[in-house]
Structure 1
Amino acid sequence: MSAEPHLPLPAELPLVDEPGGTDVDLKTQIIRFTLTGGLSAIVDFGLYVLLLKAGLPVSAAKALGFVAGTTTAYLINRRWTFKADPSRLRFIAVVALYACTFAIQVGINQVMYYAIAEHWWRVPLAFVIAQGTATVINFVVQRLVIFRIH
């Protein structure tokens, strides 16, 4: 009985450990991170609202939106914003960071959702406050720690 061949992993996944660091200046990183964040927020918020309308609980809808949005952000930021090669250690660090910001973002969204009176702007305002907090944390940690990993 022969072993079945495995399909190759996508190129974005960290297949090898490479030296870290980046030669992209701070201004360029901020602009690219903001643009990437905007696209990722559209993915996150769009899925969040869609799942809310489908009847999912607030936390479940936000969690799934977050996962989709942060996956989008990581793949674009690694290649474009920070121009970093794949690295297992960096990938593990990003997963740990996203786990922390996941808890922070979902928690803040939940608190704000129920703290704000029921108006048409409750969902977007809760989302923006939670997203903004997580975005600042993500940029600082990615710039100062994760994309400097060697």
Structure 2
Amino acid sequence: MSRPESGASDGHPRHDDFTTPHALTPIELPLADGQPSTSLDLKTQIIRFAITGAGSGVLDFGLTVFLQYIVGAPFWIAKSLGFILGTTTAYLLNRRWTFEATPSFTRFLAVAALYGITFFVNVGLYTWLSHMWPVELIYSFAAYVVAQGTATVINFVVQRLVIFRMR
């Protein structure tokens, strides 16, 4: 078996080094100017975090309500899948736009661990409140706000003070 040559006849460049290990990385969005900026102040980061969180929250709550009320999924399954969609979106946007951090496998693992913790806080609070209150959309929204608000505060503090300061 032979290796493809650089600049193969089809005009597409080929990777010459097939022995170099490459770490798997999550989906990445490009930085605005290609270089990370560490000069964003707290106010800017909070505003960007809030905008990202609002958009991710719409995805989270929308999927949760759809699965719970339309599909008939149990509270914890609906919220779990909503949480996964929302937090994945939030991580990708926050890493690039809010904290303007370069890709890092260590940072990705730290965020995954943090999201694992906040997953149980978020889903646990939502499920507990959903069992305490009537099964109506307004109460589901209130449970979502309490659970998401708690998880959001934990996420912002840990990401700003620890995770996005990691190299």
**TM-score of the superposed pair, with normalisation by structure 1:** 0.86
CA contact (8 A) 1:21 1:149 kept: no
Is residue 91 of structure 2 the alignment partner of residue 59 of structure 1?
no
Residue 114 (structure 2) aligns with: 97
Say whether residues 1:131 and 2:161 are aligned partners: no
Is the CA contact 1:22–1:148 (under 8 Å) kept in the aligned structure 2?
Answer: no
Q: Which of 1 and 2 has greater Rg?
A: 2
CA RMSD after TM alignment: 2.3
Contact 2:125 2:143 in 1 (8 A): yes
**Does structure 2 conserve the Cα–Cα contact (< 8 Å) formed by 1:90 and 1:147?**
yes
* Aligned positions, number: 141
Residue 41 (structure 1) aligned with residue 57 (structure 2): yes
Measure how far apart 1:71 and its partner are: 0.4
Q: Distance in 2 between matches of 1:119 and 1:91?
A: 37
SS in 2 for 1:121: helix
User: Contact 1:41–1:69 at 8 Å: present in 2 too?
Assistant: yes
Q: Does 1:73 find its partner at 2:93?
A: no
Amino acid at match of 1:113: S
- Return the TM-score normalized by structure 2: 0.78
Please give the alpha-carbon distance, in whole angstroms, between the structure 2 residues aligned to 1:37 and 1:26. Answer: 16
Amino acid across the alignment from 2:46: I
**What stretches of structure 1 of length at least 5 have no aligned partner?**
14-19
2:27 and 2:137 map into 1 onto residues whose CA distance is 41
Farther-moved stretch of structure 1 (99-108 vs 117-126): 117-126
- The separation in 2 between residues aligned to 1:70 and 1:109, in whole angstroms, is 15
Higher helix share: 1
Q: Which residue of 1 aligns with 2:40?
A: 24
* Higher normalized contact order (CA 8 Å, seq sep 6+, divided by chain length): 1
Rounded Cα–Cα distance in structure 2 between residues aligned with 1:120 and 1:130: 15
Q: Which runs of 5+ in 2 are unaligned?
A: 4-14, 16-23, 30-35
| Pair 1:2–1:127, CA change in 2 (3 A) | farther
Partner Cα separation in structure 1 for residue 133 and residue 59 of structure 2? 23
